[in-house]
Amino acid sequence: MLMFRRMMSLMVATALATQPAMAQMVTAQPAPNADVAPFVTDLTKETPKSRDEIIALLRKKVKYVFVVFNENHSFDNEYGSFPGANGLYADQNGPRDEAHTPGFTQTWTDAKGEKHSISPFRLGPDENSTFRDSVDHSHPGLAHKMNVVNGTAKMDGFAQADYDRIGRKGSDASVAMGNQFSQLVMSHVDCDTIPFFWNYANRFTLFDNIFATEDTPSTPNAIALIAGQAGETQWVKHGSAAVPAAAGNHKGNLQNVPLVNDPQPIWGSQYDATKEGRQPDSPSESYADGNIAVNLTFASLPLTFAGRTITTATSLDRNAAADLTDVQKDIPFIEARNGAPIDWRWYQEGYNHEGYEAAGAASHVGYVSHHQGPQYFGYISNNPAFAGNLRGMSDFMSDMEQGNMPNSGGVFYVRGGFSNVMGMTPPIQNPSYPAALTDADRAAIAKTKHGDDDHPGYTDSMISEAMAARVVNAVASRPEIWAQSAIVITYDESDGFYDHVPPHIQSYGPDGLALSRGVRVPLILISPYARAHTVAHSEGDHNAVIETINAIYDLPPLASLPEEKAALISGEDAQFNGPNGFVQHHLGPRDINTAESDDLLAGFDPARLDGSKAPLPASYAMIDPQVVNTLPHYSGQGCKAIGMTPVDAAMGLKNGPPAHLNTLPSTLPAYN
């Protein structure tokens, strides 16, 4: 406890110190270890720089932006006990009691009318914490969990929502499974489970106030990463009943905008009439009628990336009348700025032929098509000038190893999927949890948890962090790229795991449920110019990534484009009002910098940018490949290996899992 008090005293002293303009939203993490301490900047002695000055310096230093886009974890689920962050037990000002932590104790009522309660608890190697099952992250389920009352999210419906999803079916098996999920939703892990991610957060800058753009599952947030929205502009323009023209003539029950579920992109589906250059589908996903999204026609970063070449690029669209209908005014606006085109690529597991496949046609077995944000846009999928930017995971590794990245830089997104190119299988650290595991149990775990995008439904956390480490190592191992790089590791949405920080509700959808924002997600900024060992508290969502890209490459905000700007104004009309007359000011992208929609610039160190302090060396970011490829990482002793003490451990809290918890209630239901 004495160690914790000393650690928190340092945090409070740093947080209360007078800080320059760009450091106001940044506080130091406590107690840097010997490997980190030499690189830490004293925030109280920092030379002030304005936002414009930071942007000017970034444009001279950073040419490559890499975005490792993971799946389905709330901030508290992965960093709830991270020192110096706004977590479950403390924040940057010190320990926090339960009464000041929204939703800390959750209750649920089962089918028999019995009430139960649960509070946050830690999962570690003894509970095989690297693999778990996925909790409820449907749009209605997330709305139930956040429990928005009079515009304020109470964050107290997580346990009940997960029970209701399954337990309300009434059978003994359903009730047992529902009770397990009601507990699992309150779990969290730490550096023993994800030591690489904690190591990056410890060495660089962790953002603790970034939320899912949409209060939905994955697809809308995958789209929001490049568009800042999931179709609100298109909704305002066409209404929720109208379906704009899509991939040729089609019939069917397409899901309309704004998207709130996980439908498949129309491109590559049964409604896609494309003959040559057709987008892939996934053999593991449903393409049932009613599970296909309408063609998306609003602006996204790939349009602004085109710069002064946009007219030439969009002229190659195979069906311009349908695909470009809602960006007609945006195209000349972008071209008139005369900006240089920016190279970009979206690398995703299983998109095309991967290294683990035999020669021949790609199987797409690892492809999660509803995570492929660009594929939903006709002006990308239906245009060879843009579609060539969509590639597989093996392509990223070979492009880096063979020096095939553009010399001029660019923006490169990396996503995992159902499989992993490393050939890893999930590590079973405790063969007796949740019971003595049989050969059939082991086979089920190996079959269902070998993906690499961190989605609890089908991945293992260590396999996922190994994928991220390979990306970081690939960048850091090339000096000419590392010296000009910024790497963002972030998530699409929370999976429905508990988080205590209420998001500011910015919009409601046609169903009357909160649409934006969703539950808080992790974000780490890695760069030779990043602050070392800090936590940034800037508030934002996926628009923060877009804003940062806009700043580095001098791109116009999507919200400033004529079509999107007009839709944002039209969205304020009474016909789009939310509950109780809530005026919809944010039905569209939100990538214009404001206090509630901030960027990631606070994560950069002004002294490193202006050259008065040396950049962080590549070795500081790299993890030994032998460690990366050996599971479990650090033999399950990650906290000790990276020299970190989680807050709950420092406080001496007894917060182990409840008795008889099954972390795999769907995968191994026999143990419920």
Q: Residue 264's beta-bridge partner residues?
A: 292
pLDDT confidence of 314, banded at 50, 70, 90?
A: very high
Stated as kind and residue range, the H or E segment containing 122 is strand 121-122
DSSP 655: -
How do residues 102-122 score in pLDDT, each as one tens digit? 999 999 999 889 999 999 999
Please state the rounded mean pLDDT for residues 23-43. Answer: 91
| pLDDT for residue 252 | 61
Q: How far is CA 272 from CA 281, 327, 586, in A?
A: 11, 21, 32
DSSP 625: H
Query: In this structure, what token pair is assigned to residue 121?
Result: 């608890």
| pLDDT for residue 103 | 97
Residues 181, 496 contacting (CB under 8 angstroms): no
How do residues 552-595 score in pLDDT, each as one tens digit? 999 999 999 999 999 999 999 999 999 999 999 999 999 999 99
Compute the distance between CA of residue 212 and CA of residue 441 in angstroms, rounded to an integer: 34
How do residues 79-92 score in pLDDT, each as one tens digit? 999 999 999 999 99
Q: What is the pTM of this model?
A: 0.95
| Helix/strand/coil (H/E/C) assignment for every residue in 566-598 | HHHHHCCCHHHCCHHHCCCCCCCCCCCCECCEC
Q: Residue 152's beta-bridge partner residues?
A: 149
Compute the distance between CA of residue 75 and CA of residue 61 in angstroms, rounded to an integer: 30
pLDDT confidence of 239, banded at 50, 70, 90?
A: confident
Residues 191, 177 contacting (CB under 8 angstroms): no
Domain ranges, ordered by start, for the chain: 55-85+99-671
Q: How far is CA 197 from CA 5, 201, 472, 621, in A?
A: 25, 6, 11, 11
User: Which of 54, 84, 304 is closest to 201 using CA atoms?
Assistant: 84
pLDDT confidence of 2, banded at 50, 70, 90?
A: very low
pLDDT confidence of 143, banded at 50, 70, 90?
A: very high
What residues contact 256, with CB distance under 8 A and at least 6 apart? 231, 235, 240, 241, 242, 243, 294
| pLDDT for residue 248 | 44
- CATH topology for 55-85+99-671 is Alkaline Phosphatase, subunit A (3.40.720)
Check pLDDT > 90 for residue 360. no
DSSP letters spanning 179-242: HHHHHHTTEE--TTT-HHHHHHHHHSEEEEEEE-SSSS-HHHHHHHHHHSSSSHHHHHHHTTT-
Give the burial class of 630: count Cβ atoms within 10 A of its Cβ; 0-12 exposed, 13-18 middle, 19 or more buried: middle
Residues in the chain: 672
User: Which of 230, 352, 347 is closest to 294 using CA atoms?
Assistant: 230
Please state the rounded mean pLDDT for residues 351-360. Answer: 91
Question: Does residue 258 have a cis bond before it (omega within 30 degrees)?
Answer: yes
CA atoms within 13 A on the CB side of 651: 17
How do residues 370-393 score in pLDDT, each as one tens digit? 999 999 999 999 999 999 999 999
- Across the chain, how many H-helices and E-strands are there? 26, 19
| pLDDT for residue 169 | 85
DSSP letters spanning 310-363: HHHHHTT-TTHHHHTTT-TTHHHHHHHTTPPP--EEEEETTSS--TTSPSSS--
Q: How far is CA 199 from CA 49, 526, 636, in A?
A: 28, 11, 14
pLDDT confidence of 19, banded at 50, 70, 90?
A: very low
Q: What is the mean pLDDT of the chain?
A: 93
User: Which of 207, 201, 208, 235 is closest to 220 using CA atoms?
Assistant: 235
Residues 360, 350 contacting (CB under 8 angstroms): no
